[in-house]
Amino acid sequence: MEKKVVLITGASSGIGYQTAELLAQKGYKVYGAARRTEKLSELKEFEVETVYLNITKEESLKAVVDHVMDKEKRIDILINNAGYGSLGAVEDVTVAEAKNQFEVNLFGLARLTQLVLPHMRAQKRGQIINMSSMGGRLTTYFGAWYHATKYALEAFSDALRMEVKSFGIDVILIEPGVIKTDWGIIAADHLAESAKGGSYEQIASQKAQGIKKQYTSNWGSSPSTVAKTILKSVNRRKPKAR
Ligand code: NDP
């Protein structure tokens, strides 16, 4: 039987890395994409093909899809996992930073989806797995901009699911809670940095320390648990093309 072809973003670390490894071990042909190619190259050990991607750049997105299509002639599963959290008070996060979060967590993902969909429609099948968060359904202190990206992703995914179902394509949302990856460290650093010298500095700095502690302690789940959830999702019943 032909191996199913998977393209996964954010494969250089955390959830994406574990998922790429697990799916490759389970017999999928996996293409792992991210900017840090030195981290990606560790996945070669598990026979994951690696490819450079900056999700905020149109030419990079096109190059990735062209590369996989040239090699495999199809993409069965797109896992839109790349993302980050830039926590901070609404007043403190610059609009440029807020926009970048939307570029990575929503617009880049949406553009990649646009580029993959024509191929999935031609195949009359496909799965799009979008990495949202528990934070796509509830909000936390200093998370306004991050939550806004994930709430938007939930709405985007729910609406897209209706549009593409009749082409045999499913759209699946994954909504993890606290998962021990670099996400928490990056989010905490953004939080502390954004608050420096401002009205929220004291509480933001305490919160940032708390987040770092949470993400480095035994609290929270390992990224491999999310990888297993994704594996279950790719195995679930697919809609039939009409
Ligand atoms: P990591 O920081 O370990 O991974 C984030 C990945 O996103 C990296 O591989 C990074 O690759 C990639 N990425 C970031 N910016 C870009 C970009 N501009 N272009 C391409 N790739 C990019 O965190 P997680 O594994 O935890 O995060 C994965 C997803 O899970 C995210 O969408 C996150 O919001 C979500 N999530 C995480 C939770 C958690 O508690 N950890 C909870 C709920 C959801 P590189 O820097 O090499 O480009």
**Segment 41-58 mean pLDDT:** 97
Rounded Cα distance between 212 and 58, Å, is 33
Answer positive or negative: Cα dihedral of 178, 179, 183, 185: positive
What's the whole-number average pLDDT of the chain?
A: 97
Q: Is residue 59 part of a domain?
A: yes
pLDDT of 237 strictly over 80: no
Which band of pLDDT confidence, cut at 50, 70 and 90, is reported for residue 163?
Answer: very high
Residue 206 belongs to some domain of the structure: no
Q: Examine residue 197 and state whether it is found in any structural domain, yes or no.
A: no
Q: Which residue has the higher pLDDT, 219 or 76?
A: 76
190: confidence class by pLDDT, cuts 50, 70, 90: very high
The angle, 0 to 180 degrees and rounded to 10, between the axes of the packed helices 182-195 and 201-216 is 170
Write the CATH number for 56.
3.40.50.720
Using the predicted structure, report yes or no on whether residue 1 has a pLDDT greater than 80: no
For residue 2, how far is its CA from the centre of ligand 1 (angstroms)? 30
CA angle 158, 63, 160 (to 5 degrees): 10
Does 13 fall in a domain?
Answer: yes
Centroid of ligand 1 to alpha carbon of 124 (angstroms): 30
The pTM assigned to this predicted structure is 0.98
Any ligand 1 atom below 6 A from CB of 82: yes
What range defines the domain where residue 157 resides?
A: 5-179+222-234
Please report whether residue 97 resides in a domain.
yes
CA distance 15 to 230: 10
| Atom of ligand 1 at shortest range from CA of 83 | 32
Angle at 220 between CA 230 and CA 82, to 5 degrees: 45
For the chain, the domain total comes to 1
**Residue 28: predicted pLDDT:** 98
28 is catalytic: no
Q: Summarize the confidence of residues 51-71 as an average pLDDT.
A: 98
| Residue 110 domain flag | yes
- Confidence class of residue 236 from pLDDT cuts 50, 70 and 90? confident
Query: What local confidence, expressed as pLDDT, does residue 61 receive?
Result: 99
Looking from the CA of residue 40, the nearest atom of ligand 1 is 47
Does 104 sit in the ligand 1 pocket, CB within 6 Å? yes
Position 166 in a domain? yes
> Does residue 82 sit within a domain?
yes
